[in-house]
Amino acid sequence: MAAFSYRALNPAGKTIKGVLEGDSERQVRVQLRAQKLKPLMVRSVADREAAAEAAGNQGLFSRSRRLSSKDLSLITRQLASLVQSGLPLDEALQVAARQNRRESIKGMLLQVRSRVVEGRSLAQALAEHPKAFDHMYRAMVRAGESAGFLGQVLERLADYTESSQHTRQKLQMAMVYPLVLLGVSVSVIGILMAFVVPDLIAIFQNSDRELPALTKILIATSDFVSSWWGFATLVAIILAAVGFKVWLRDDKNRMRWHRFLLRVPVIKDVLIEADSARFSATLAILLSSGVPLLEALKIAGQVLGNHVLRASSQEVALAVQEGSSLARALERAKVFPPLLVQMVASGEANGTLSEQLNHAARNQERELEMMLGTTLGLLEPFTVVFMGVIVTLIVLAILMPIFDINQLV
């Protein structure tokens, strides 16, 4: 059976959309009429995907569609519970699809189910949706199916996805207030310079008296911001940002940029801690799910965001393939934190590598949170002080000529 998307009229004349399973479009139309619905359009989800890909776009059911961490975690948790309760995999996929309210996800799950019913493994069925289920996810599912404990692996995957989402949300929430404060400060200063200051200093521009240097600077800055030069500068900044993103599409340019970031003191530490924590957690969950070390290293290296670190992880995998221990290969790379190398060495020595990698990931996440908390905690008072200094300078530039007039009087 395949998944079909449909559009139909209900008895009230309202158009509704949905997804149904059937052997053919004709059978789906019969199902719709049995539900007192008048079918307007019935189309195979697979055909719809092919048409979307041929058109070069990402349609509602496009295979290039990504799943959010929340949706992926929910689907994985549902499948884990259903499989562990003894429900066959195809029925578990069908139940998970029915429980999902989003038609795009429902269609994708039903399509995965149709592949499973045809005789494919779950990992093979998920491989048709590489953007939704990444390489690590499919490798763990494949290992779970091979070892016969798919439910436990899915449960572990759900835990991993939820913890990653929780960590990401904590970091994002910690960054919201300082960034909003900085944006508001810059906006307020821009409005003052463009609309308020010109009216206040207009009374001094026609005066024959020599204006203070601070007032002259304020007048020049205000004229620049309120003129077309200010607008041109803003447009130039936006175009430069767009051009930089286009420049980064080239792999060599991206590698140069990432190598530069690893030379900036504070940014270097944040990037290494974040990527090392992600690398350790991914490697730990792969090893504990039965994935061989060499394959786990190749998969875990793909989750690294910095391309320099990703290239180093590939060198680590190559060294392990040639017979080196993981700890020695990580130490030779000279980019991973010493704590990670020590814990890996300890895990290799006593046979608890996955547990030690889990401990290393948690330690690095705590250090990353502390580092970002300290940095963002310093950004807040800095922004307030910066705002206060700028406003004070504006006020002084306006009051100084007034003080001079009062002294003359």
DSSP 183-239: HHHHHHHHHIIIIIHHHHHHHHHT-SSPPPHHHHHHHHHHHHHHSHHHHHHHHHHHH
360 near 346, Cβ under 8 Å?
Answer: no
d(CA 325, CA 328): 5
Task: Report whether pLDDT(206) > 90.
Answer: no
What mean pLDDT do residues 168-183 have? 75
Task: Report whether pLDDT(243) > 90.
Answer: yes
pLDDT of residue 236: 92
The C-alpha angle 326, 331, 335, rounded to 5 degrees, equals: 115
pLDDT of residue 175: 72
102 near 75, Cβ under 8 Å?
Answer: no
Q: DSSP letter for 66, please.
A: -
d(CA 56, CA 207): 64
Of 58-62, 280-284, 328-332, minimum mean pLDDT range: 58-62
Give whichever of 16-20, 105-109, 289-293, 344-348 has the largest mean pLDDT: 344-348
**Burial (CB count <10 Å: 0-12, 13-18, 19+), residue 11:** exposed
d(CA 383, CA 152): 48
**Burial (CB count <10 Å: 0-12, 13-18, 19+), residue 202:** exposed
138 near 123, Cβ under 8 Å?
Answer: yes
The C-alpha angle 242, 243, 245, rounded to 5 degrees, equals: 65
Residue partners of 270: CB distance under 8 A and separation at least 6: 368, 371, 372, 375
β partners of residue 8: 16, 39
Q: DSSP letter for 102, please.
A: -
pLDDT of residue 29: 79
333 near 312, Cβ under 8 Å?
Answer: yes
d(CA 176, CA 160): 24
Helix (H) or strand (E) run with residue 373 in it: helix 353-408
48 near 56, Cβ under 8 Å?
Answer: no
Task: Report whether pLDDT(148) > 80.
Answer: no
What mean pLDDT do residues 45-50 have? 56
- Portion of the chain with pLDDT greater than 70, in percent: 88
pLDDT of residue 244: 92
Average pLDDT score over the chain: 80
137 near 149, Cβ under 8 Å?
Answer: no
Helices (H), 89-149: 89-99, 103-117, 122-126, 135-147
Of 53-57, 132-136, 169-173, minimum mean pLDDT range: 53-57
Compute the chain's Rg from CA coordinates: 30
User: The tokens of 163 are what?
Assistant: 């913890």
Same fold, 2-54 and 69-162: no
What mean pLDDT do residues 55-69 have? 54
pLDDT of residue 68: 81
What mean pLDDT do residues 21-40 have? 76
The tens digit of pLDDT for each residue in 246-268 reads: 998 888 999 999 999 888 888 88
d(CA 258, CA 271): 10
Domain map (residue ranges) of the chain: 2-54, 69-162, 267-369
User: The tokens of 116 are what?
Assistant: 């499973």
d(CA 99, CA 329): 46
Strand, helix or coil at 249? coil
Task: Report whether pLDDT(393) > 60.
Answer: yes
CATH class of the 69-162 domain in this structure: mainly alpha
Residue 222: pLDDT band (50, 70, 90) is confident
Of 208-217, 230-239, 336-345, minimum mean pLDDT range: 208-217
d(CA 102, CA 130): 19
Task: Report whether pLDDT(56) > 50.
Answer: no
Does domain 267-369 fall under CATH 1.20.81.30? My reply is yes
Entry field: residues in the chain: 409
Task: Report whether pLDDT(242) > 90.
Answer: yes
Return the residue matching tokens 């940095």.
375
Strand, helix or coil at 57? coil
Residue 409: pLDDT band (50, 70, 90) is very low
The tens digit of pLDDT for each residue in 313-366 reads: 889 999 999 888 999 999 998 888 888 899 999 998 888 888 898 888 888 888
What mean pLDDT do residues 275-298 have? 84
Task: Report whether pLDDT(173) > 70.
Answer: yes
2-54: which CATH topology? Ubiquitin-like (UB roll) (3.10.20)
Residue 406: pLDDT band (50, 70, 90) is low
What mean pLDDT do residues 123-133 have? 86
β partners of residue 19: 5
Task: Report whether pLDDT(391) > 60.
Answer: yes
Instruction: Answer with the residue of higher pLDDT: 354 or 146.
Output: 354
Report CA-CA distances (Å) from 60 to 5, 25, 32, 108: 10, 19, 21, 10
